[in-house]
Structure 1
Amino acid sequence: MAASGQRRPYPQLADSPSTASLLQSTETNHRSPEAAFAQGPRYSNTQSFTSSGSTSWNGSPTNQGVLDRRSYQTNSVSEKFSLPADPAVWGSNVSPDFQEPDDWIHNPDPKRDRKSDRGGSIVSYRGLTNLGCLVVLVVGLLALFAGYPIIHYFTTNQLSNLGGFNLGGINASGQVPEMIGNYGLIDADTPSSAHTYKSFADGSEWQLVFSDEFETPGRTFWPGDDPYWEAVDLHYWQTNDLEWYSPQAIVTKDGSLEITMSEKEINNLNYMSGALTTWNKFCFTGGMILVNVSLPGSSSVSGMWPAVWTMGNLGRMGYGASLDGLWPYVYDSCDVGTVANQTYNGGPAAALSGGDPSNGGALSYLEGQRLSRCTCPGESHPGPYHSDGTFVGRSAPEIDLFEAQVSGGVDSAGLSQSAQWAPMNHEYIWDNTTGNFDIADSSVTQLNSYAGGVYQQATSAVTKANPDCFDQNTGCYEVYGYEYQPGYKNQSGYISWVANGDVAWTLDAGGMVADPETEINDRPIPQEPMYIIANLAMSENFVTVDVANLVFPTTMRIDWVRVYQPKNAVNIGCDPKDYPTAAYIQQYADAYNNPNLTTWTGDTSAGGYGQTEPKNSFLGQC
C-alpha cells in the first residue's frame, strides 16, 4: 500500500476525552484519576504526521514505528474500559467501618436501638393516611357486598304481578317488540288520574293493568305490527256478515282507533271493514274493562253493527274450528248439558219443545261441550283437574261490552249489553227474579226481548244510546264497559254493565243457577281468561240493513281502552295456571290459524278439521 494511504494514529490532545475526565471524584470536581487510569499515552512528543518514511516513533525505525503505533492504539482503548477485580485498586475505601455519604433514606443502620429510633410515634401524618386508606377500603367492600344488596332490597319497588311483560312489552304469546317504543301494558299516554278507578260494586280502588290511548298516529295492525292487537283478515260467515274484515280498514288517527266501513268490493263481497282483537296476546280474568267510543253511522238509520266484546282465549274470533264445541259454553258439570242438543235418550222433554220458534221449538243445535268435565281420562283436554280427578270444564264464553243497534226512526239507537250462555234454560228464561239482577234506571235500560236461540242463550238488556255520539251526528264519545267477578252464586259472581259512564244493569250469578226442567246445573260467571274484540259489522242477522239510506264510508272511533282489577286480585295473561290455554292452542295450531277450517270434526276437503270429539263419560264412552 502507498505510504500516503496508510492510517496514522494521532496524539492525544490536551482537550481530548480520557479516563481522567470520565471518572469524577465525589469529593471535588477535579479528583485525580485512579492509578489504573493515570498513565498517559506512550509517546513523548507531539507533532504532525505528514509522512511515513522519515518520522521516527520513540527513536525506532520507520516500519517498526508503524507496528508500534498499531499496538498502542489497540492497548490504549482496552485499558480505558478494563477495571481490576479489586475495588481497592480503584482507590475506593472498602473498609467495613467506612460509611459512605448518602441521602437520609439510604443511610444504613445495622441495628435497631433506642438511640436511633426514639421519638417516633404511630400518630403521624403517614400513619393516619395509611389507617384512613384501610378504613376506606373496608367500608367500600362492606358497602359493595353487604350494603348494596340491603339498600337494593329496601329501595326497589315491589314488582306487581303484571307478568314478564315489561321491560317494554312482552305479550301473552311471548312476543317482544323489535323496536323501542311505547309498548308497555299500561300506555305511557294514559293520564295518572286514570291509573286507578273505583269499583262500581263496592267503591274500592282498583288499579290499571292495561291501557291503550291510541295517541300515536298511523299505527297499523297487520300480523306482527303490534304486541297486543291484531286485525283479522277474513269473512265472518258465522253471522252472515256482508263485509270482509281487512287490516286495511283499521288505523290510528287524531288520538283514536278508527275502524272504517266502506263500500268497496273485496273478495267477492261489496263492503270492507275491520275487526281487531288481543287474542292470545292480552287477556284478563275478573275486573273491569272500559272503552270510550264514538259510534258509526247515524242514530236514525239502521244497518251498522258496531261492537266491543270479550271472549275466552280457547276460542279465536272468526276461526270456526276453534270455536266449535266451546262457544258459548260456561259449564263445569257432567250431565246432559254437555252433550249434543242437550238431549240424551229422548229427553229431557224441556229440551225438545218450547225452544227456538224458528227451528221447530228445539232448544239447542249445539254439538255438545267438547272440553267438558265429562271428558274421559287420557283424552285430549287442556286441563286442569278437579280434586276428584275429573277435568275442569273448559270453553270460550262471551261477554259483550255493547252491540249498538238502530231500529230506524228518531231516538231508536240502543246498546245491547249481554252475556251468552250454554247449556240453556227451558225457553231461554233465566232466573230473572228480584235479587238476581238489577236495572239502575228502567226509563233508560230494559231487559232485552231477545233471550236466545238454538245456538245460544242470552242475558241481555238494552240501554238508550246518546244520539249525538254517532259518526254522522256530532261524533261525541261515551264510556261503555263492564265490571265482573267470576264464579258461582256462593262466590259472589256478578256482571255489571256500564253505559254512558254509569252502571246500566247487573246480573248476579244467582240468575244462572240449575234448571231442573232441562236437567242442567249452575253456570258460573265466566272464569276463562278473556281477550278483547272491537269490530264494525253489517248483517241482516242482527238488524235490518237500510242500504238506501246508509252513508259510506262510516267510522267507529275508540278513544281509549282501559282494564282495571282489584289490587289484591290482579290476574292477567292468556295462559293462567288454573285455566291454561297455550299448550292446547299450540297442539291444535291449525284450528287457530286457518279461518277456512269451520268445524272441529268433519272432512278436511269440506272445511272440517278432521279431529275426533273427546270421549264423554256421561255417554258411557270411557
Structure 2
Amino acid sequence: MFSDRSAIGRVSSSSSSSSSTSLLALTLILLLITSINAGWIDEDTPRSAYTVVVPHAKQYWAPKHTKEPPHDDETWSPTESPTMTPTVASNSPSSPPTPSPTYTPTSTPTPDPLPFSNFDLTMSDEFNTNGRTFKDGDDPMWTAIDKNDYTNNALHYYDEGWAGTGEGSLNIRTSATKTSIVGFNDITLKKVHETKNFKSAMLQSWNKFCFTGGLIESEVILPGKHDIGGLWPAFWILGNLARHTYVGSSNNIWPWSQSKCVEEHVDSQKLSACLKTGHFGMEEGVGRGAPEIDIFEVQPGPVKHNTDQFGLMSVGQPFASHSLQIAPGKSSKRPGPGNWPGPGEWYEKPKLKFGPETCMNIAFYGTYNHFADAPSTTYDYWSDAISQNRQLGSKHFTGLHKFKLHWEPPSIKHGDGFINWYLDDELILGINGTSLKEPEGAEIPSEPSYVLVNTAISKDWGFPKTCPEGCGCKEYDCESVEWEKTCGFSPGFCDMLKSTEEGHSEPGANYKINFIRLYQDKDNPVHKVGCSTPERPTRKWIEGNAKSYMKEGDAAPLKKVPRGGGKCTGADNEDLRNICGGLSFGLCKNGGCLCQPGRTGPYCLSNDGFDDVIWDIQDKVKDLGLTAPLVTAPFVILIGMVVVVVAAVVWEGRQRRRKRLGYEQIRLDEKGGGVL
C-alpha cells in the first residue's frame, strides 16, 4: 500500500510539475502577446478605439470672401462685408489692407482619388489615472518643462507643477503667479534677472515618443472664457531635431523641410543637403530640419469677424488657427500681414482645400528669421505659415471637442504627401504636397516629430490691438495696484485667472485634455514610431549637441525614469502616490514604491511605454562593417521568456530525478541545525 501510494504520489507530483510548467509557459506567452500589443497604448483605451476607418475628407473650395459662413455660437451676429475686387497686395507690413480676391466656390466636394483605409492604434494616453505628474524623470512619454520661455514675447514661466491628471483628464493650469528668474536669455544671449507674472505648463514628448505619419487626435475642453482674450492654448507637433523653448537647438533648423540641395540655402539651413559629409549619422545629400504642424492654436476674445483687425476676414474671435510652418519660405513677392495675397504671392488655391466656417489667416504669413550672433545675413531666411482659421463658439470652452490631424509624408503610396486638419470630423484645411514644391522647394514634413500641449500668454496673441488712451502696454501684472500695469489686459482677464473654477482647488484657467491617440497604417512603411528612424536619424546629432537641448545646471537633456522608488506611507487616502497607485500598479514596501509589471515612474502611476521597433541601436556592429539585425522590444522579451521557460523545465526535471533517486528535501530549524 505504501509503495502504491508512493507511486501514485510520484505520478501526481510529476503531473503537477508538468502542469505548473505548462501553465508558466502559457502565462509567459500571454504576457508576450500583451507586450507586443502594448508599446505606447494605454491599457485604459476602450477596445472600440483600437481601429479607425480613415476616409479621404470631403474637401471644398474656399467660399467667397464676401460671404459669411454659418456660425455655431448663438451670440454671434453676421455683418456683411462689402464686395471685394482682386488687388495686388503690398509687401510692406505697414501698408493699408488689400481687399481679398473673390473665389468661386464649387457646389460639390472634390472627388477623392484614394479609397478608405483602416488605421490601427499605435499610441494612446487616456489620462485616467489621477495624481500623475510630469516633471523630468516622472513619465516615460511626457516631460513638463520647468524653465522660462523666451519665445514669442512670452509673459509666462513654464512650471512643471502646473500640469497633472485628475477627474480622468490631463489638466494644464494657467494662473497669475509670479516667478523670479536668473538665467540665460537664448534670444539676447545675455544673463537676465527678471520676474514673470504668470505661470502655465507645457508637456513635450521630445526624444521619448515620436512618430512619422498617421492620424493623431485629441479631445479637449479649451481654457478660460471664449470672449476674454489673452490665453494661447495649443496642440501641435515638431520635428525632433528642435526642442521647443531651447532656442539654441532650433536656430537654422526650425522649421526647415527641404531634403534636396539648394546652394543658396547652404548657410541658412544648418543641415543642408549640399553638405558633402554625413556627420552624426546623417545621410549625405539629405537635408534635415524641424518643421512644425500646429494641430490647433486657439485665440479667444470678443472681436468679431469683419471688424477691427479682422476687418477683411470672415472669421473673428474666438478662433482656432491650423498651420503648417516650413522653410524655406517665399523670399520675395510676399503678401503683407493683414492683406489678401495677390497673383503669384502665395500658395496656389487649387491645391489647398478649405472647410466651412473657415478663412485664410491673412494676419500671419510667416517669420523672417535673423540671428544676432550669425557671421552674415546669408544665415537669415524666411519661413512660411500656411494657415487657416476656424470659427469657434462658447461651446468649445465648456464641452469636449475633437481636433484631428491626418499627416501623410511623401511616399510611393501618397506621392508628394498631404496634411488634413479636422474639428469634430469636419475638414478645416487640406494641403497637397505639390503646392509646396513650386515656390521655394519645401516639402510635406517627413521628420520624426514629437507632441506638445501647452497654454501660453503673449502680448502678441489675443491682447487688445490698441492700447487704451494713456496706457503704455509695457507691463502686465494682475497683482499690481498701478493702473499702468493692468490697463493693457482684455477686460476680465485678471479676474478669470484669479478665480477658482468649479471642480478645482487652485485658482486659474484650466485646459483639459481627455485623451491623445495616434493611428497609423500598418501597410504603409513610411508610418513609423520612433524619434530616430533609419531614414531620419536624430540620436547622434542630439548626443553630439547635447548642450543645445539643456538648460543651465542640467546634467543631461532628460533624466531617466525610475521604476518605483518614490516615497510612500501605505496610507489609503486620496493621494495615490502614498499607495503607489494601488495593488494593480505597485506596492509600498519599506517606505518606497515597488512597481508591478507594465508600470513605471517613481510612484508606478504611468504605463511603461516603449517603441515596438528599436530603429537606432546603440552598438558597434556597424563599425566592423557588418549590418546589425533589426531588434524589436517584443523580440527581446521573447528571448527572455524562452530562457525562463527552458530554465523552469530543466529545474522541474532535476527535481523529479532527485525524488526518483531517493533524495529527501530537508529544512533547517531556526537555529540552523537539525532536520524538522
Distance 1:252 1:160 in 2: 25
State the shift of 1:488 in Å: 7.0
Distance 2:490 2:19 in 1: 78
Correspondence list, 1:442-453, <5 A = 444-449=357-362, 450-453=364-367
**Per-residue CA distance 1:500-557 (angstroms, 9 max, x = gap):** 3322121000110133xxxx43x22110101000010011223325625211011111
Alignment partner of 1:478 is 2:401: yes
Distance 2:462 2:257 in 1: 27
Q: Does the 8 Å contact 2:133/2:163 carry over to 1? A: yes
Alignment partner of 1:286 is 2:241: no
Distance 2:143 2:239 in 1: 16
Distance 1:488 1:314 in 2: 21
Partner letter of residue 444 of structure 2?
Answer: I
* Aligned residue in 1 for 2:269: 369
* Aligned residue in 1 for 2:320: 415
**Per-residue CA distance 1:434-466 (angstroms, 9 max, x = gap):** 1x121132xx11221122231321111011123
Question: Which segment drifts farther, 503-512 or 277-286?
Answer: 503-512
Task: Name the SS for the 2:176 alignment partner.
Answer: strand
Higher Rg: 1
Distance 1:583 1:437 in 2: 37
* Aligned residue in 2 for 1:399: 293
Distance 2:329 2:249 in 1: 21
* Aligned residue in 1 for 2:141: 228
Alignment partner of 1:196 is 2:119: no
Structure 1 432/310 Cα, relative in aligned 2: closer, same or farther at 3 Å? same
State the shift of 1:151 in Å: 10
Q: Does the 8 Å contact 1:371/1:381 carry over to 2? A: no
Task: Name the SS for the 2:237 alignment partner.
Answer: strand
Distance 2:147 2:264 in 1: 32
Distance 2:161 2:366 in 1: 34
Task: Name the SS for the 2:394 alignment partner.
Answer: coil
State the shift of 1:159 in Å: 8.7
Q: Does the 8 Å contact 2:280/2:544 carry over to 1? A: no
Structure 1 157/269 Cα, relative in aligned 2: closer, same or farther at 3 Å? closer
State the shift of 1:157 in Å: 8.1
Structure 1 391/415 Cα, relative in aligned 2: closer, same or farther at 3 Å? same
Partner letter of residue 272 of structure 2?
Answer: S
State the shift of 1:236 in Å: 1.6
Task: Name the SS for the 1:482 alignment partner.
Answer: strand
Which structure 2 segments of 5+ residues have no match?
1-6, 57-114, 181-194, 305-315, 335-344, 370-382, 465-487, 498-507, 555-676
Distance 2:404 2:42 in 1: 19
* Aligned residue in 1 for 2:41: 186
* Aligned residue in 2 for 1:363: none
Partner letter of residue 568 of structure 1?
Answer: D
Task: Name the SS for the 2:430 alignment partner.
Answer: strand
Q: Does the 8 Å contact 2:229/2:490 carry over to 1? A: no
Alignment partner of 1:564 is 2:519: yes
Alignment partner of 1:554 is 2:509: yes
Task: Name the SS for the 1:511 alignment partner.
Answer: helix
- Aligned CA RMSD, in angstroms, stands at 3.5
Task: Name the SS for the 2:127 alignment partner.
Answer: coil
Structure 1 156/381 Cα, relative in aligned 2: closer, same or farther at 3 Å? closer
Partner letter of residue 129 of structure 2?
Answer: T
**Per-residue CA distance 1:329-376 (angstroms, 9 max, x = gap):** 001121145245xxxxxxxxxxxxxxxxxxxxxxxxxxx111110113
Structure 1 338/263 Cα, relative in aligned 2: closer, same or farther at 3 Å? same
Q: Does the 8 Å contact 1:431/1:513 carry over to 2? A: no
TM-score (norm 1): 0.59
2:444 to 516, 525, 538: 525
1:240 to 147, 153, 156: 153
Correspondence list, 1:285-324, <5 A = 285-324=212-251
Structure 1 562/262 Cα, relative in aligned 2: closer, same or farther at 3 Å? same
Partner letter of residue 401 of structure 2?
Answer: E
Q: Give identity over the alignment, percent.
A: 31
Q: Does the 8 Å contact 1:243/1:538 carry over to 2? A: yes
Distance 1:548 1:374 in 2: 49
* Aligned residue in 2 for 1:437: 352
Structure 1 190/468 Cα, relative in aligned 2: closer, same or farther at 3 Å? same
